[in-house]
Structure 1
Amino acid sequence: MKKYSLFIFYLLFAIPQFTSAQAAIIAMIFGDKVASEKFNLSMEIGVPFNSFSNVDDLKIQNGVNFGIAGNLKLSENWYVSPTVYFLSKRTVLLKHTNLISDDAYLNGLYSDTSAKMRVGYTDVHVLFAYQPNDSNFRFGLSPQVSFLGKAKSTYSGSQGELEQSTTKFVNKTDYGVIANVGYFLRSAHEGKGIILNLRYYQGFTDVLKDNFASGTNKSSYVALHVSLPFLTDELAAKNKKPEQIKD
């Protein structure tokens, strides 16, 4: 069991260049094969509602998180979940912004206009969670580091929409902390379990460069998150009868 755990932890942290499709394949191949009462893999899906600080007239938009996690039971009440979101998109609507390009004519057409900005990251975090006795609630904290992939903005103007790569206007990394409240539905998903999470992220770094937005533009979001564990049929049967679970 130990060698499987080390192998999965290596996958989670050493290959952030993997696509979300590859992540899903890994989870499906190895999921229930390494599952035990102490360790399992899970598919992670979330919808963050993102915002940036110090941006005037910004409108919050929903994004998407998708990845895999390794879930390790440390003791009767404590859990740790190293997680990688191979797909992590944060979206905001900028109501008053200007196109920045080498074409002065286009800059004039798309000045003081609205733009939908989509920033793609690979997120890595390690969630430490506490679950009280005889409770399905879990309370957790986690540091998170986000590595920039691509950023795009779609500007709206009198001539229609214009899409521009804005990767050069976004800093390469973002880091912060996550606070999480989860509720474990043991008997759901045919006993395989589902964990519903309400999550808040607060970034500590400046996301947007000064030539795009002034001030310190820290990222934050509230997310609704679902964790789908991969468990064996035997463990699923025990989940349907919690009184039979033994540490």
Structure 2
Amino acid sequence: MKKYSAFIFYLLFAIPQLTTAQAAILAMIFGDKVASEKFNLSMEVGVPFNSFSNVDDLKIQNGINFGIAGNLKLSENWYVSPTVYFLSKRTVILKHTNLISDDAYLNSLYSDTSAKMRLNYTDIHVLFSYQLSDSNFRFGLSPQVSFFGKSESTYSGPEGELVQNTSKFVNKTDYGVIANVGYYLKSAHKGRGIILNLRYYQGFTDVLKNDFASGDNKSNYVALHVSLPFLTDELASKNLKPINK
């Protein structure tokens, strides 16, 4: 069991360049093979509603998180889940912004306009959770580091929409902390369980560079999140058995 755990932890942290398809295949191949009562893999899917601090007239938009986690039971109440979101999209609409390009005429056409900004990251976090005794509720905290991939913005103007690669205006790393409240549906998913999460993320660094947005602009979001554990049929059947008190 130890060698499987070490292998999965290596995969979670050493190869964040995996595509979402590869991540899904990895989870399906190894998911139930390394599952035990104290360790399993899970598929992670979430919808964050992202915002930036101190950015005027900003409209919150939903994004998406997708990845895999390794879930380790430390004791009857404590759990740790190292997680990688290979796909982490954050989206906002900037209502009063200006196109910044080398073309002065284009800049004049897309001045004081709205732009839909999409940012792609790879997120890595380690969630430490405490489950209340005789309860399905879990409360957790996690540090998170996000590695920026690319950004694209769609500007609205009198000549129609203009799409610009805005990656050069975004800092390469974002880090912060997650507060999470989870509810464990143990018998759901044919006994494999589902964990429903409500979480809040607060970033500690500016996302946008000063030449694009001056002042503080730290990322924060509220996310709805679902965790789908991979368990063997034997473990799933145990979850469906009534508890005799």
Please give the TM-score of this superposition, normalised by the length of structure 1.
0.98
Matches within 5 A, 1:1-247: 1-241=1-241, 243=243
Q: What SS is found at the alignment partner of 1:205?
A: strand
* Whole-angstrom CA distance in 2 between matches of 1:54 and 1:134: 42
For residue 242 of structure 1, report the CA deviation from its aligned partner. 5.3
Amino acid at match of 1:172: K
Q: What SS is found at the alignment partner of 2:205?
A: coil
For residue 54 of structure 1, report the CA deviation from its aligned partner. 1.2
Please give the TM-score of this superposition, normalised by the length of structure 2.
0.99
For residue 158 of structure 1, report the CA deviation from its aligned partner. 0.8
1:174-225 residue CA offsets vs partner (Å, 9 max, x unmatched): 0000000000001111111000000000000011000000101000000000
The share of aligned pairs that are identical, in percent, is: 86
Runs of 4+ in 1 over 4 A off after TM superposition: none
* Whole-angstrom CA distance in 2 between matches of 1:202 and 1:91: 16
Q: What SS is found at the alignment partner of 1:209?
A: coil
* Whole-angstrom CA distance in 2 between matches of 1:42 and 1:157: 44
How large is the Cα RMSD of the aligned pairs? 0.7
For residue 243 of structure 1, report the CA deviation from its aligned partner. 2.1
Amino acid at match of 1:197: N
Residue-pair matches, total: 244
Amino acid at match of 1:140: G
> Would the alpha carbon gap of residues 242 and 94 (structure 1) be closer, same or farther in structure 2, given more than 3 Å must change?
farther
* Whole-angstrom CA distance in 1 between matches of 2:243 and 2:140: 24
> Would the alpha carbon gap of residues 242 and 208 (structure 1) be closer, same or farther in structure 2, given more than 3 Å must change?
farther
* Whole-angstrom CA distance in 2 between matches of 1:239 and 1:103: 63
Q: What SS is found at the alignment partner of 1:76?
A: coil
Q: What SS is found at the alignment partner of 2:8?
A: helix
* Whole-angstrom CA distance in 2 between matches of 1:241 and 1:206: 49
Amino acid at match of 1:49: F
* Whole-angstrom CA distance in 1 between matches of 2:9 and 2:243: 30
